[in-house]
Amino acid sequence: MSGNSSIVNSVLDQLSASGHKKVVYCNDPDTGLKAIIAIHDTTLGPALGGTRMWSYTTESEALEDVLRLSSAMTYKAAITGLNLGGGKAVIIGDSRKGKSEAMMRSYGRFIKNLNGEFITAEDVGTTTKDMEYIRMETSHVTGVPESLGGAGNPAPTTAKGVFLGIKACVKEVFGTDMLAGRSVVVQGIGNVGEHLVALLRAENVEVYISDINEERLQHVARTYKAKPIGADKIFGLDADIYAPCALGATVNDKTINKMKFAIIAGSANNQLADENKHGQLLLEKGILFAPDYLINAGGLISCYSELTGFGKKRTMQLTENIYNATRDVIKMSKTDNIPTIWAANRIAEKRIIDIKKIKSSF
Ligand code: NAD
C-alpha cells in the first residue's frame, strides 16, 4: 500500500509541476495495448495531439515524453490562434511489428470514453491507416485520408509554415525575405523535410541535406539538386540557416559551440535541449531561433481545418499567418532583450489567460 501510494504521489507531483489536467493510462492485455494519454490544458478547446508509438524502455520515460509533448501542444495551439487545448498520447511498443487493427480500435475506444476532451492525429510511428481504425470507434480523430473526407497528410502544410518562418527570420537578419542565394542545411528529409527542400529549391536556395536513410538522401539529392552531407558535417557548416527536421534536442551545449549559422528554423519539436539555457545562449551568440512550436504549427492547422470543416483556402490563410506571428515574436524578443522562445511562451500564455477570463462570465 505504502509503495503504491508513493508511485501515485510521484506521478501526481509531476502533473502538478507541469500544470497537467489529466493523464489516462490505457491497458488492454487482449490486444497488447499499453498507452498513456496526457491532457495538459483545455482552456481554449479540446486537447488535440498526435499519438506517438515508440519502444520506450521504461514507463517513466514514456510518461516524461507524453507530458513534455502535450504541454508543447497547448502553446502551439494558443500562439497559432486556434481554439484547441494541448494533449498528446504515446503507445508503448514497436510500431513496425507491434501494431494491429484490434489494438488501434481498442485504443480508439479509450479515446471515445473521453467524450471529446481529447482528439488525436498521427505522429511518429502511426499512420493515416491507424487513424482510419481509430475512426471506426470514435469521431475524435483527425488526419484520416482525403479519400475518407479527411485532410490527409499534414506534412506539406507543416513544411509551408516552416518555409514562411524561415522567410520571416531572413527578413530580420538580411533585411529582405528574398531567399535566392541563401544557404540552408536541412537535417532529416522525411515527410516534412522533403517538402521543405522542394520549396527552398524553387526559390534558388542552396540546400544541403542530411539523413540517416542513405537511399532517401540520394533520391532527394537527385530530385531537387540538393547537396548531401554527412551528419558530422552539419554543425560546423558555413550556411546561413539550420533547419532541424528530424529529432529534438539537436541544439545543445555541444552543437551551439560549433555553429556559424545566422538562423535556426525547422520542423522538429523541442529543438532546444534546455529551453532556458540554450535560448539564452543563442541570443548571446546572435543566432536567431524561430520557436519550433510556432513555425511547425501547419500540421495542427491542417487537423483543425479537418475538424471545423474549413476548406483549403482557410487552411492556407491560417498557415500564412505564421510569417507575421514569427515577426511579432522576433519584435518582442528584441524589445525586451529576451530569447525568442520566451517571447513565444509569453504570447501563448497571455492568450490562454485572457480567454480564461472571458469564459468566467455567464
Ligand atoms: P519523418 O519520420 O517522415 O522524417 C524524419 C526523417 O528524419 C527521416 O527521413 C529519418 O530517416 C530522418 N532521421 C532520423 N534520425 C535522424 C538523424 N539522427 N539524422 C538525420 N536524419 C534523421 O518525420 P516528419 O513527419 O518529416 O517530421 C519531422 C519532424 O518534424 C519530427 O520531429 C516531427 O515530430 C516534426 N513535426 C512534424 C509534423 C508533420 O506534419 N509531419 C508537424 C509538426 C512537427
Q: How far is the CA of 39 from the centre of ligand 1 (A)?
A: 24
**Ligand 1 neighbourhood includes 211 CB (under 6 angstroms):** yes
With respect to residue 356, please indicate whether it lies within any of the assigned structural domains: no
Backbone dihedral angles phi then psi of residue 300, each to the nearest 5 degrees: -65, -40
Residue with cell 519584435: 331
For 155, the grid coordinates are 506534412
**Ligand 1 neighbourhood includes 187 CB (under 6 angstroms):** yes
Q: Give the pLDDT score at 160.
A: 98
Q: Give the pLDDT score at 221.
A: 98
Q: Give the pLDDT score at 261.
A: 98
162 and 304 part of one domain: yes
With respect to residue 37, please indicate whether it lies within any of the assigned structural domains: yes
Q: Give the pLDDT score at 3.
A: 44
Q: Give the pLDDT score at 146.
A: 81
Mean pLDDT of 169-197: 97
**pLDDT grade for 124, boundaries at 50, 70 and 90:** confident
Last residue of a domain, one of 148, 163, 181: 148
* pTM, to two decimals: 0.93
Residue 353 pLDDT > 60, yes or no? yes
Out of 1-5, 76-80, 323-327, pick the least confident.
1-5
Ligand 1, atom nearest to 124 Cα: 2
116 and 189 part of one domain: no
Domain with 31, as residue range(s), is: 2-71+84-148
Return d(Cα 40, Cα 359) in angstroms, integer: 18
Q: Cα separations (Å) of 289 from 156, 169, 225, 238, 271?
A: 22, 8, 27, 17, 10
22 and 61 part of one domain: yes
pLDDT in tens, 268-283: 999 999 999 999 999 9
Return d(Cα 98, Cα 75) in angstroms, integer: 32
Return d(Cα 167, Cα 199) in angstroms, integer: 11
Return d(Cα 101, Cα 105) in angstroms, integer: 6
Mean pLDDT of 148-169: 92
Last residue of a domain, one of 116, 148, 180: 148
Q: Give the pLDDT score at 144.
A: 81
Q: Cα separations (Å) of 312 from 70, 139, 294?
A: 26, 21, 20
Q: Give the pLDDT score at 8.
A: 55
Residue 342: give its domain's CATH number: 3.40.50.720
204 and 100 part of one domain: no
Residues in CB range of 157: below 8 A, 6 or more apart:
298, 299, 301, 302, 315, 319
Mean pLDDT of 52-78: 95
Residue 6 pLDDT > 60, yes or no? no
Mean pLDDT of 79-97: 96
What residues act catalytically? 88
Higher pLDDT, 266 or 247: 266
Q: How far is the CA of 248 from the centre of ligand 1 (A)?
A: 9
Return d(Cα 303, Cα 195) in angstroms, integer: 18
Helix ranges (DSSP H) in the chain: 2-18, 59-80, 101-112, 128-135, 155-174, 191-202, 214-224, 253-258, 275-285, 292-295, 298-308, 312-336, 340-359
Query: Residues of the chain with pLDDT > 70: what percent?
Result: 97
Residues in the chain: 362
Backbone dihedral angles phi then psi of residue 89, each to the nearest 5 degrees: -140, 150
189 and 130 part of one domain: no
301 and 193 part of one domain: yes
* Mean pLDDT score of the chain: 94
Give the max Cα distance, the chain.
66
With respect to residue 54, please indicate whether it lies within any of the assigned structural domains: yes
Mutate to test the pocket of ligand 1, among 52, 187, 247, 250 (most ligand atoms within 8 A of CB): 247
With respect to residue 359, please indicate whether it lies within any of the assigned structural domains: no
Ligand 1 atom 33 nearest Cα: 268
Q: Give the pLDDT score at 101.
A: 97
With respect to residue 78, please indicate whether it lies within any of the assigned structural domains: no
The total domain count for the chain is 2
DSSP structural state of residue 53: E
With respect to residue 124, please indicate whether it lies within any of the assigned structural domains: yes
Q: Give the pLDDT score at 2.
A: 40
DSSP structural state of residue 90: E
Return d(Cα 216, Cα 14) in angstroms, integer: 40
Residue 20: give its domain's CATH number: 3.40.50.10860
**pLDDT grade for 1, boundaries at 50, 70 and 90:** very low
Last residue of a domain, one of 148, 172, 194: 148
Q: How far is the CA of 66 from the centre of ligand 1 (A)?
A: 17
173 and 142 part of one domain: no
Residue 359 pLDDT > 90, yes or no? no
With respect to residue 88, please indicate whether it lies within any of the assigned structural domains: yes
142 and 169 part of one domain: no
**Ligand 1 neighbourhood includes 155 CB (under 6 angstroms):** yes
110 and 238 part of one domain: no
220 and 322 part of one domain: yes
With respect to residue 312, please indicate whether it lies within any of the assigned structural domains: yes
Mean pLDDT of 69-80: 96
**Ligand 1 neighbourhood includes 288 CB (under 6 angstroms):** no
248 and 110 part of one domain: no
260 and 317 part of one domain: yes
